[in-house]
Amino acid sequence: MQDVFGNALNFNMALLLPEIILAAVAVLVIVLDMFAKELKVRPVALPIVSVLGLVAAGVASGLAVDQHTDFGLLVTIDNFTAFFRITFIAVAIVLIVGSHEYIEKHVNHVAEFYALLLLSTVGAIFMASARDLLVAYLGIEVLSFSLYIAVSLAKNDTRSGEAGLKYVLLGGVASAMLLYGLSLLYGVAGSTQYGEIANALGKSTDDVRMPLLLGLTLIVAGLGFKVSAVPFHMWAPDAYEGAPMPVTAYLSATSKGATLALFLRWFGGPLLPAIADWQWMMAIIATLTMVVGNLVALQQTNVKRLLAYSSIAQGGFMLMAITAISDIATSALLVHLGGYIITNLALFVAIIHFYNRTGKEEITDFRGLSRTNPYLATVITAGLFSLAGMPLLAGFFTKFILFQAVVQGGFLWLVVVAVVGSTVSLFYYLQMIRQMYIFEPEGDATRWGISGTGYLTTGVLLGLIVFVGIQGAPLYTVADRAAFDLFPQGVAAPVTASTGAAPAAAPAAHK
Range of weakest confidence among 236-240, 413-417, 499-503: 499-503
pLDDT higher than threshold 50 for residue 498: no
pLDDT tens digit string along 353-408?
999 888 888 899 899 898 999 999 999 999 999 999 898 899 999 999 999 999 99
Would residue 497 count as lying in a domain?
no
Q: How far apart are CA 194 and CA 266, in angstroms?
A: 8
The confidence score (pLDDT) of residue 143 equals 94
The confidence score (pLDDT) of residue 125 equals 95
The confidence score (pLDDT) of residue 3 equals 55
| Residues facing 71 on adjacent strands | 75
The confidence score (pLDDT) of residue 67 equals 82
Q: How far apart are CA 245 and CA 452, in angstroms?
A: 19
Q: 75, 16 in Cβ contact below 8 A? A: yes
The confidence score (pLDDT) of residue 246 equals 92
Q: How far apart are CA 125 and CA 143, in angstroms?
A: 9
What count of residues does the chain have? 511
Q: How far apart are CA 64 and CA 78, in angstroms?
A: 8
Average pLDDT, the chain: 88
Would residue 511 count as lying in a domain?
no
pLDDT higher than threshold 90 for residue 233: no
Q: 502, 281 in Cβ contact below 8 A? A: no
The confidence score (pLDDT) of residue 13 equals 86
pLDDT (average), residues 123-141: 94
Q: What percent of the chain has pLDDT over 90?
A: 61
Q: 280, 497 in Cβ contact below 8 A? A: yes
Q: How far apart are CA 213 and CA 230, in angstroms?
A: 20
Helix (H, G, I), strand (E, B) or coil at 309: helix
Would residue 508 count as lying in a domain?
no
- Model-level pTM? 0.91
C-alpha R_g of the chain: 22
Cα 436 to its chain centre, rounded Å, is: 28
pLDDT (average), residues 61-84: 88
Determine which helix (DSSP H) or strand (DSSP E) holds 70, and give its type and residue range: strand 69-71
State residue 362 phi and psi, 5-degree precision.
-80, 150
Cα 31 to its chain centre, rounded Å, is: 29
pLDDT (average), residues 226-250: 90
Would residue 185 count as lying in a domain?
yes
Would residue 253 count as lying in a domain?
yes
Range of weakest confidence among 159-168, 206-215, 320-329, 489-498: 489-498
pLDDT higher than threshold 60 for residue 57: yes
> pLDDT tier at 1 (50, 70, 90 boundaries)?
low
Can you give the residue range of the structural domain that contains 30? 13-486
The tally of domains found in the chain comes to 1
Q: How far apart are CA 220 and CA 235, in angstroms?
A: 17
Q: 81, 63 in Cβ contact below 8 A? A: no
Would residue 509 count as lying in a domain?
no
Would residue 500 count as lying in a domain?
no
Helix (H, G, I), strand (E, B) or coil at 8: strand
| Residues facing 302 on adjacent strands | 362
Q: How far apart are CA 188 and CA 208, in angstroms?
A: 6
